[in-house]
Amino acid sequence: MLNYFKKVVNFLINQTVADRIREKRKSKKLTQKQLSKILNKAESTVQKYESGEIEVPISLLEDIAKALDTNVLYLLGYEEIKQKIEESRLFREQLNLLGCYFQEFNCPKEDKADIVGCNYIDGTELNCSNCDIKQSCYILSYNNITVKVPLNDFDNLRNSYKSYMQFMLLELIKKYQ
C-alpha cells in the first residue's frame, strides 16, 4: 500500500514539475530547443520532461530553475502542497469540533484478497469479510458509529464542506452589504 502512495505522489510531483517547466519556458518565450541547449540535453529529453514521460533528475532541477528564472521549490509545487496540507489540518480540526474523528487506514485487502480481518491502529479488530472497499480509506467515527470511508468520498466531503462555507459567506455578505 505504501508503494502505491509513493507512486501516486511521485507521479503528481513529476507532473507538477513537467507542467511548471513548460509554463515557465513558454513565459520566457524559449523553445524546447533553446532550453535543451542551455541544459546541454537533447531536445527530445526536454520534450519528455515537459510531457512527464520521464522524470527530471533531482540533480538537474536547480539548473532548470536557474535557466527559467525561478526556484526549485516552485518547480516542485511546494507552495501548493503546503497549502493542501494546511487545508487538510484545518478540515480535521473543524470535524473534531463537530465531534467527528477520523484516521487514515491502509487496508491490507488491497494487496491480499484473502484477508478476513485487520486491526485498527488502536487495536480494535475490523471485520474485512463484508468490506468491499479494498483500498486505503478513512475510519470515520461520529455519533458512536464508526465506518470506513474511501479516500475519494472523503475528499468529496472536504470539497463540499469548503464549497458550502464559501456559499454561506457570500450569502452573509449579500445580506449585510
- Yes or no: say if 133 and 107 are a contact pair by the CB < 8 Å rule: yes
Alpha-carbon span 112 to 131, nearest angstrom: 13
CATH 1.10.260.40 spans which residues of the chain?
A: 2-76
Residue with the larger pLDDT of the pair 26 and 77:
26
Residues 6+ apart with CB under 8 A from 162: 87, 91
| All cell numbers assigned to 30 | 524559449
CA distances from 2 to 90, 138, 139 (A): 25, 15, 17
As a whole number, the mean pLDDT across the chain is 82
| All cell numbers assigned to 128 | 474485512
Residue-level pLDDT at 12: 76
Q: Check whether 19 has a pLDDT greater than 90.
A: yes
Residues 6+ apart with CB under 8 A from 119: 125, 126
Q: Where are the alpha helices (DSSP H) in the chain?
A: 2-27, 32-39, 43-51, 58-67, 72-76, 78-97, 151-176
Give residue-wise pLDDT tens across range 38-96.
999 999 999 999 998 999 998 999 999 999 999 999 999 888 878 877 888 888 899 99
| All cell numbers assigned to 4 | 502505491
The CATH number of 2-76, from 1.10.260.40, 3.40.50.12160, 1.10.10.10, 3.30.160.150, is: 1.10.260.40
Phi, psi of 73, rounded to the nearest 5 degrees: -60, -40
Residue-level pLDDT at 5: 55
Alpha-carbon span 19 to 34, nearest angstrom: 18
Give residue-wise pLDDT tens across range 148-167.
888 888 888 988 998 999 99
Alpha-carbon span 71 to 77, nearest angstrom: 10
Three-state DSSP state, 96: helix
Q: Check whether 129 has a pLDDT greater than 90.
A: no
Phi, psi of 114, rounded to the nearest 5 degrees: -85, 0
Q: Which of 121-125, 133-137, 146-150, 172-176 has the lowest mean pLDDT?
A: 121-125
Amino acid present at 15: Q
